Amino acid sequence: MTHRQAVALMVLVTLLWSIAGVVTRQLEAAGSFELTFWRSFFNALALCLILGVMRGAALWRSLRHGGRWLWLSGLCWAVMFTAFMVALTLTSVANVLVTMALGPLVTALFARLFLRHALPRRTWLAIFGAGLGIAWMFGGEAGDGLSLAGTLVASAVPLAGAINWTVLQRVDGDGVAAQDMLPAVLIGAVLSALVCLPLAWPLQASPHDLGLLAVLGGVQLALPCLLVVRLSRELPAPEIALLALLEVVFGVAWAWLWAGEQPSPSVLTGGLLVLLALVANEVAALRRVPGQA
């Protein structure tokens, strides 16, 4: 896979991830932990089908004999799945996505500390530019009654994500195929569903809600998460986290257009800064690869 193809596939991943907020706003009855349970349940169901076809009986063997990295990655996925949906019920889509956008900063720090990655200057500059955009958005939203609880819950997503991307890069560096880490996504979905089920009982989701949550579990979560594990073999962890910032821009746009959550001028300005940082980083990367520019 060329760098350009990997970047294009990562953009598709962010597009799929970004529909979570707007779809959640269309739910009728499902509450905080119930919608988290159903999304994780349908995610686990979709992963069982996809990975069952891909791996067959080897899937269950890999789960049974999975090492510490597999289960650590699975725990990270569980935290990300759970914290994201709970945070959406506590504050606005824009606030959740802005908080999640801290991911590249934390990931770059972890990659430097634990993997000894020497990051190119263009990546540091892009992270700095994106950080300015995030700070701009965060400052404007904080003045409009930002939910502290929602922000604290949402902050668990970039922290768990940074650990997860670092783990995926570590196992790939040790010669373990990224495909062997695909079951970690299934582990995360199952753990998330099991934790949320007691808190969600009694279940009250309508058939309408179940249909939307099935879309979230399969299309918005299972497919892109499998893709991003595969992409961890092609792109460095900080670049994956940086490209994932596109979810902020896409998610805020969908919530504005289809759920009536109109973002403030600070969100729009900050989103533009994030986009400019991403574009500048990818253009610089392509120019450094012969035949790609």
Length of the chain in terms of residues written = 293
Q: Stretch 188-200: mean pLDDT, rounded?
A: 91
User: Rounded CA gap, 282 and 3, in Å?
Assistant: 9
- Is pLDDT of 23 > 50? yes
Highest mean predicted confidence (pLDDT) among 25-39, 152-166, 263-277? 152-166
- Average pLDDT of the chain is 81
Closest CA to 103 of 141, 157, 154: 157
Under 8 Å between Cβ of 241 and 126:
no
- Cβ atoms 164, 111 nearer than 8 A: no
C-alpha 226/C-alpha 50 separation (Å) is 10
Using DSSP, state whether 68 is helix, strand or coil: helix
91-100, 184-193, 197-206: least confident range: 91-100
C-alpha–C-alpha distance, residues 2 and 90, integer Å: 40
Tokens (6 digits) for 233: 């073999």
Residue 292 has pLDDT above 50, yes or no: no
pLDDT recorded at residue 178: 47
SS3 at position 145: coil
119 versus 79: which is more confidently predicted?
A: 79
Residue 291: the pLDDT is: 47
From residue 127, how far is each of 102, 122, 148, 238 by CA, in Å?
A: 10, 9, 25, 9
Per-residue pLDDT of 167-193, as tens digits, reads 877 776 555 554 577 788 889 999 999
Percentage of the chain with pLDDT > 70?
Answer: 88
pLDDT digit string (tens) for 230-273? Answer: 887 888 877 787 788 788 888 888 888 877 777 777 777 877 88
pLDDT of residue 79: 94
E strand spans, 153-284 = none
- For residues 48-72, give the mean pLDDT: 80
66-70, 180-184, 198-202 — most confident range: 198-202
**CA-based diameter of the chain, in Å?**
59
pLDDT interval class at 293 (50, 70, 90) = very low
Sign of CA dihedral 17, 161, 183, 54: positive
